[in-house]
Amino acid sequence: MRKEEKHEVVSALAEQMKEYGNFYITDTSELTVEKINNIRRKCFENNIGMQVVKNTLIKKALEQIDGDVAPLFDALKGASSIMFSITGSAPAKLIQALRKQGDKPVLKAAYIDSTAFIGDNQLATLASLKSREELIGDIIGLLQSPAKNVISGLQSGGNKLAGIVKTLQERG
């Protein structure tokens, strides 16, 4: 690969890292072409991008993005592939599903919303992460709960003044 081609690959990788904000560095070495193609197909079905890239090019791309990416450098040993996703937990869930059929891919490291996760032992934690939309939904649900309780209490009091006063005394 010529120097210009390497520069283009590094620039494209850095752009994807910035665009997605979430990426996983995995080990897919020693897998057959058929198994790699199966993983690529599953990634495509789950809106996850996947590329097999040399570690030196990944390191150069990491150096071009903002954030504390230094912990990820130690994970760049052996054959590596990168999974990109808008949802931080999607690749972890896919890796868990794929591991039911074999021992690969192995998680080397992940970078989720400016936080580095190192090692395959982080897989369960990453799979349980909630997306931004799920967290917002949880917060809205928590905020609505007290209002619903007051409204139901007022309605059960028959909208009479005595019922309202009683309900407010019970809540206060």
DSSP assignment of 53-75 equals --HHHHHHHHTTSSS--GGGGGG
Which residue, among 20, 6, 93, has the nearest Cα to 53 in the 3D structure? 6
Residues 120 and 156 in one domain: no
Any residues with CB less than 8 A from the CB of 168 and at least 6 apart, and which? none
> Could you tell me the pTM of the whole model?
0.74
Q: How many CB atoms lie within 10 A of CB 143?
A: 9
Residues 101 and 166 in one domain: no
Q: Residue 147 sits in which domain range?
A: 132-171
**CATH code of residue 97:** 3.30.70.1730
Q: What is the pLDDT of residues 16-62, one digit of tens each?
A: 998 888 999 999 888 888 888 899 999 999 999 999 889 999 999 99
Residues 101 and 151 in one domain: no
Amino acid at 154: L
Q: How many domains does the chain have?
A: 2
Q: What is the pLDDT of residues 100-128, one digit of tens each?
A: 988 889 999 999 888 889 999 988 888 88
Residues 61 and 116 in one domain: yes
The C-alpha atoms of residue 116 and residue 47 are separated, in whole angstroms, by 22
